[in-house]
Structure 1
Amino acid sequence: MTILVVEPMKTPTVQEIDGSLESMQRIVGGDIEAVYPFDDPVALVCHGEGKLLGLPMNRALTDESGVPYDIVCGTFFVVGIGDEDFTSLTEQQIEKYRKKYANEMVFSVPVPSGNHKKQCNKEKNEHER
């Protein structure tokens, strides 16, 4: 399965994985969570507790106007959505999301030491309201 991996402070890379739960968990570093912030048939798969664990801030999720509403913490990947399972991204999807996340290279905000978890949790709680 062809996916696009987005690591903090790095440009996105295309990778091939076998599609097993273990291979997905290995990429994000733990339990996976899929979110669906795009109109395209793709999912963003990240660590389910990335913010709580204080993983590094990666990229912002933005609304249709480009206004950030959340931050993904830790490595994530973009994958296609099939009828019942994840599928490979198409070439067009790879290029679209590679450009999107290369242009949004790094979401970086200086956060005083020790407050990173608090800030991510505060943003998460505000988003859930």
Structure 2
Amino acid sequence: MQVVLVEPGKAARITEIGEDLQDMQEIVGGLIQALYPWEDPAAIVCNDEGKIMGLPLNRVLEDYDIITGTFFICGIQGENFSSLTEQQLQKYQQKFRCPEKFIPTPNGLLCLRIESVVTPKEKNKKPSNYER
């Protein structure tokens, strides 16, 4: 099934995964837990014991929790997980595109979103050994 894979420290990406329980457990590194934070028919599938296991902090979820370890977002059809629609793939890849860094402070964790920076190429720059 086509899902959005979100790994700590990396940009979210669209990928194909198997539909078996073992495939899903391998991706998240243990027992799976499904979260349903949106009205959209989509689920976050993460490691059920990620915080207890001390997996790395990954992304803030809707301003109320932090998901640890690798997780993926998949569609829901009835009681089964399914591929996301093309629109959902784009939506959730965009939503989780930027990795997040968590810094402890005296008032709790500070979350920094790491935006990718593209440096423009210099136009018409002549090589240093260029002669007139």
- Contact 2:13 2:97 survives alignment (8 Å): no
Deviation, structure 1 residue 38: 1.0
Q: Distance in 1 between matches of 2:87 and 2:74?
A: 12
Query: Quick check: 1:90 aligned with 2:96?
Result: no
Q: Return the structure number with greater relative CO, CA threshold 8 A, min gap 6.
A: 1
1:95 CA displacement: 0.6
- 1:75 corresponds to which residue? 70
Task: Confirm whether residue 108 of structure 1 aligns to residue 111 of structure 2.
Answer: no
Which secondary structure does the structure 2 equivalent of 1:110 belong to? strand
**Moved runs in structure 1, 4+ residues, more than 2 A?**
none
Percent sequence identity over matched residues? 50
Considering fraction of residues, name the structure with more strand.
2
What is the letter of the counterpart of residue 2 of structure 2?
Answer: T
- CA separation in 2, counterparts of 1:102 and 1:3? 14
Q: Deviations over 1:49-78 (max 9, x none)?
A: 00011100000011xxxxx11000100000
Q: TM-score, normalised by structure 1?
A: 0.78
RMSD of equivalent CA atoms: 1.4
Higher alpha-carbon Rg: 2
Separation of aligned partners in 1, 2:101 and 2:64: 12
Letter in 1 for 2:10: K
For each residue in 1:15-67, what CA deviation from the matched residue of structure 2 results, as whole angstroms up to 9, or x when unmatched? 112200011001100100001011110000000000011100000011xxxxx
Inter-partner Cα distance in structure 1 for 2:79 and 2:97: 29
Per the alignment, residue 123 of structure 1 pairs with none
| Count of residues paired in the alignment | 106
Counterpart Cα distance in 2 of 1:87 and 1:71: 24
After the TM superposition, which residues 31-46 of structure 1 pair with which residues of structure 2 at under 5 Å, given as runs?
31-46=31-46
What displacement does 1:107 show?
Answer: 4.2
Structure 2 length-normalised TM: 0.76
What residue identity is the alignment partner of 1:84?
Answer: E
